[in-house]
Every structure is written in structure tokens, then in C-alpha cells.
Structure 1
């Protein structure tokens, strides 16, 4: 009888007790709360994912602090998070690419698959995209989430969930290096050593750059990039563009063919134009103010190609392979890890950079 009692109680908890779906909800600027939300059920073509790891992106912090990014304004409660990995727990109808138990990284932009951009393969430019944690759409920072199955990419057993959460920002770097048409043996300048700048540095090396120089104003970030194998670094704080250019050329020996601008800072955009080799490529990765003053005539005279990067398209498989093959190691970038219950502390650590924070991961497991 005691065994039957415990068996029945266990069954009740599994079937009747509410499932924990703790969720990080941004209600308005500066007002983020942890709440229980309903557990979603997968529809046709979708899977339910038990979220394990979610990285905090600068955009998440920006929405928390400012309540908006450009035209995207938080006007009603929004669930944060989009750098995510987890395990498939339910499969909806018509799903064939993944099954229950598969470990997956989630590509957070659900495109329409019908417009000219989607049909041409540049689905990152889709005007109807539903992108996680971009108003008015909810994100992934919760226990359970449903997502379109074809945007869930299987993770090799060798990759941790934390590394799986890195596939999203790493895909930005893959896209940037592809947009740069980076060739083996070329010299590269990366401006800005934040998480995206560091990932662009790592991917540029993996793509075969012979020399990679990284700039920033924070010495601890430059120390990290040197430990990861940068050819050289330049602390640009308080220096003129001309002085910075001289330091860069002293390291590279000749002007870099490619600059990956990852800071979004006006002075760095100008530096990119000044120092990049004539006929070279400048790729704008970082998001800065809507308008900046740059030496555009110099870019014209040097016949530079200035190219934009907006998210990514068809980059997840490459990003997964870069980590799985050992060509890119993202583990040194994970400086802090918090439970979902500690989300407020995780966001504050990211916002302030406390403890030389680079990438903060939230563990969403029960």
C-alpha cells in the first residue's frame, strides 16, 4: 500500500501539478519581473523546447534600460532573450527534422519564407520577420518555449548548452566575414572588443586571416583578446585617428584589406575608412546612432566597399561546425553564469560590466 500511495502521488504531481515556466518579462523601461507564464504547446511545424541556456545580448539590456531600440519600442509586456539552446520536449505535427530529446540551438528570426528576400536566400532582410525579444514579439528567456522546427539546429554531443547559446551571436560574426568576402591570408582590423567584436576576431582567424588587430578603450578587453591570439591590440582611448592608424600599421606592416567595425562609434567608423587599404572592404557590424559624420570622400577616393550586416542568413550550420571542430573556442568568453531566478543580477552584471563581464549566461533549467 505505501508503494501504491507514493506511486499515485508521483503521478498526480506529473499530471496535475502546475508546470514551472518561470519567465523573464520586461513590462516597461527599468521594470523587469520574473513571472509564471503558461507552457506553450507546439503547433504544426513547431517543437516545444525546454530552454537550458540563454545568453544576455546588448539589445536585451538596451530594452531594459531605455525601453526601445530605434523604432522598436516596448509598449506592452515582452519576454526577453534570443541567444538560446535547449532540448526538444514535444514535437508538433509535420515535424521531421528533429525529435524529442534532440539538443538544439534556436535561430530566433521566424521569416515569412514567401517574400522576394526570403526566396532569394537573404531572409534576414524579410520585412515580416518575427524576431524573438524585438517588440512586439516575445523572446526565449523562460523554461519552455515553442519554435519553428526548421529553425532549430541540432547540436553535436561535444557542445554544451552554453556553447549552443553562442551560436546566435557567432552567426553574426560568420555573416560579417562572409559579407567581407574575407580571403585566406588577408589582414583584418576589428574595431571594438565587446562580445561581437571578440567573435568577429575569432571567426576572422578561423576563416584564414593572417593578421588580426583589435582596438578598444578598455584594457581588460584587450588583454582578453591578446590571450586569445590576436596579432596585436591598440588602446584607442584619447588618441587621434592618425595616431591610431600609425599604431595599427606598425603591427600589420601594410594596411588591412578588411575592417570589421563592431563598435558603432562614429570615431571608429572614421578610423575604418582611414586605415583600410584602398580597394578594401569595410563591414559595418556594430549598431550606433542613426546618423554619423564620416570621411565619405576618402572612402570614394580609396574605392572602398562599405557593406552592412543585419543579423545573419544561413549561418547556423557554419557557426556550429566552427565550435565543434575546435576552430573557434567561445568558452573563454563566458565570464558569468546565473540561474534564471537571478536574472536581475545577471542583467546588472551585463549592464555594468562588473567583474570584467564579457558574456553572461542564464541557466533556465528547473
Structure 2
């Protein structure tokens, strides 16, 4: 049996290649994908880094939905036809070893009919956003600014609203994304952050792929504010240490999902639990994601959409690739 998958190559090349689909082995589940979500920040970093890495091929993607096509020996929880969410690559078929790490390639979760396939793909990026909000320990009526409202920034905005933050200010260069941020829960979409917050925000999320705006983030912060780094910004940033960081006593936090497979007494929020929370919130309609889907296209058009995304944020947001035969 033959399938198709995306492959990154040096020179910013994105191709669709054919491959032989292996039969599932012991403890493996073979999934036939219906759709997958592009994580633009991470994947564009991967694509741009192909030249430096020296690799001839890279296989992107980590959020897909499909149905179980076949199972190997030892599988009792899944059967052909089961609808599942996996951390699979962008491909028509993906094999999951259920004994692997549930944080990565070993993750597979059954889905019920309360969610569409496209909605379910938001669980992975949604968990990243939720982890950042948890790290911030937001309080009710705490002022928040989200710099960069791509998919993760939009989800941070929505989850900050659920946490009771106010006001919530979205900052982005793309006007369309600012308007969508209002639907996600932003109360303001202006650049006059200091005026809206009366002297600077109490919590700021850097959810942009641009490291150079970190200085701007610091300048928008109030005394003893929290700055949470959640974007996939590569490279380095120049910041003012004394005036912005030291004298304001800012707290700078990194937010990157920990390799925590089982709950700990001091941090019970595993990635699996956060993904389940996001799915539940989407299902009960307290977390809206449908307005973030743009565009929804067949996988054969993937090279064009990656080329567009590499030029800037206009005209796309939550890219969904469909994997129909």
C-alpha cells in the first residue's frame, strides 16, 4: 500500500512524496489521516534550519486526526474505525507505537462525535497555550498583553479570558489577526498598551516568531510584571537590562511543555491532561477555534501555503491540510 507525506528539503523546498505504508507491528496502530494542522512557527523554523542541519530530508507535523485502519498484536483499546487524535506527521498514514512516549509519537487518543476533525487538531497547540497560561498563574482581573496572535497567541488570548484576566490586549502587525483576536476574547486590539493598562500590563505573553520585539514587550510591562515566553522565536534578542528588567523587577518565564508523563504533586498538569482540557473546552463551546481555521486545503497545495507563510502573516492562520485519497 502506498501513501503520501510532506517532506522538507534544503533551500526552503516543500515536497509531497510517495512512500510504502508498513503493516502495524506489535503494539502499533495504523491510522489513516483525514486532516492535520500546520504549526507554522515550529515548522517554518524547521524548514529554514534544513540548510544548517545538513539533513537532506525532514518530516514535519505533530497534530493529526484520522481513523484506525489496522492494529497489531497486543492492541485492545483501539479497533479499525476508531477515530483518533495523534501526534503524527503530515501524511496520509501514520503508525503509532502505543508503548512509546505519550508526550510525542506514542500519543493516541480516541475522539467522540462532539468535535469535528479540524477542531480536534487544536488540542496540541492548545495545550502549549494552556501551559503558558498556567505558568503565568493569572489572577482574576489581571491585565494581559499578547504579542503575536497567530494560532498559539489566539489560544493564549482565549484561555486568559477563561482565567478571568482583564483587560486582554492583542498586539500584531496583521489587521485580520487582530480582528480575530476579538473573537478569541481580546478586549482591546491597540498598540497604546500603556494607556489602556494605566502604566503597563501585569502579564505579557511573547507569542511571536520575532525575537526582536522582546524589548517592546518589556517596555509595555508594569512594575514587577510577568513576561512569559511562549512563541517559537529563534535566535537572540537585545534588551535593556537596567531600566526595563532590573528597575521594574520583571519576572521572565519560559513556557515549554515539560517531559512530564505522570502528574507530580507540585505540577499535576501533564501535556496529556492539558490536551484533554482543550478538547473538553472546545466540545462544550467555551473555547472557540473554528474562526481560526484559514485556510483548509488539500495536502497537494502544501508547497504553496508554506511559501506564503514564509513571507509573513497575511492571508492565513490555522492551516488545515486535508488528506483525502
Work out whether the TM-score is over 0.5: yes
1:306 paired residue number: 252
Distance 1:300 1:97 in 2: 53
Distance 1:294 1:97 in 2: 51
TM-score by length of 1: 0.75
Q: 1:318 to 1:228 in 2, by over 3 A?
A: closer
Distance 2:139 2:76 in 1: 37
1:163-182, Cα deviation, whole Å (9 max, x unpaired):
12221111110111111112
What is the CA-CA distance between 1:65 and the residue it aligns to? Answer: 4.6
Q: 1:270 to 1:354 in 2, by over 3 A?
A: closer
Task: State how 1:242-281 maps to structure 2 within 5 Å.
Answer: 247-253=192-198, 255-281=200-226
1:221 paired residue number: 177
Q: Which of residues 92, 106, 128 in structure 2 aligns to 1:143?
A: 92
Match status 1:32 vs 2:25? no
* Alignment gaps of 5+ in structure 2: 259-270
Distance 1:140 1:288 in 2: 22
Distance 1:159 1:226 in 2: 23
1:75-128, Cα deviation, whole Å (9 max, x unpaired):
13232222211122223333444433222222x3xxxxxxxxxxxxxxxxxxxx
- Between Structure 1 and Structure 2, how many residues are aligned? 303
Distance 2:312 2:79 in 1: 38
Q: Which of residues 196, 217, 235 in structure 2 aligns to 1:290?
A: 235
Q: 1:207 to 1:213 in 2, by over 3 A?
A: same
Task: State how 1:112-191 maps to structure 2 within 5 Å.
Answer: 140-149=89-98, 150=102, 151-191=107-147
- Kindly indicate whether the alpha-carbon contact (under 8 Å) linking 1:187 and 1:258 is maintained by their aligned counterparts in 2: yes
- Kindly indicate whether the alpha-carbon contact (under 8 Å) linking 2:38 and 2:319 is maintained by their aligned counterparts in 1: yes
Indicate the structure (1 or 2) with the bigger Cα radius of gyration.
1
Match status 1:64 vs 2:64? no
- Kindly indicate whether the alpha-carbon contact (under 8 Å) linking 1:346 and 1:362 is maintained by their aligned counterparts in 2: no
- Kindly indicate whether the alpha-carbon contact (under 8 Å) linking 2:151 and 2:318 is maintained by their aligned counterparts in 1: yes
Q: 1:304 to 1:47 in 2, by over 3 A?
A: same
Distance 1:206 1:330 in 2: 14
Task: State how 1:2-21 maps to structure 2 within 5 Å.
Answer: 19-21=1-3
Q: 1:356 to 1:171 in 2, by over 3 A?
A: same
2:30 paired residue number: 48
Q: 1:361 to 1:162 in 2, by over 3 A?
A: same
1:343 paired residue number: 302
Distance 2:239 2:25 in 1: 48
1:51-92, Cα deviation, whole Å (9 max, x unpaired):
111112223234335525xx7x25132322222111222233
Q: 1:147 to 1:261 in 2, by over 3 A?
A: same
What is the CA-CA distance between 1:355 and the residue it aligns to? Answer: 6.4
Match status 1:206 vs 2:177? no
Q: 1:302 to 1:94 in 2, by over 3 A?
A: farther
RMSD: 2.4
Task: State how 1:314-325 maps to structure 2 within 5 Å.
Answer: 314=272, 315-325=274-284
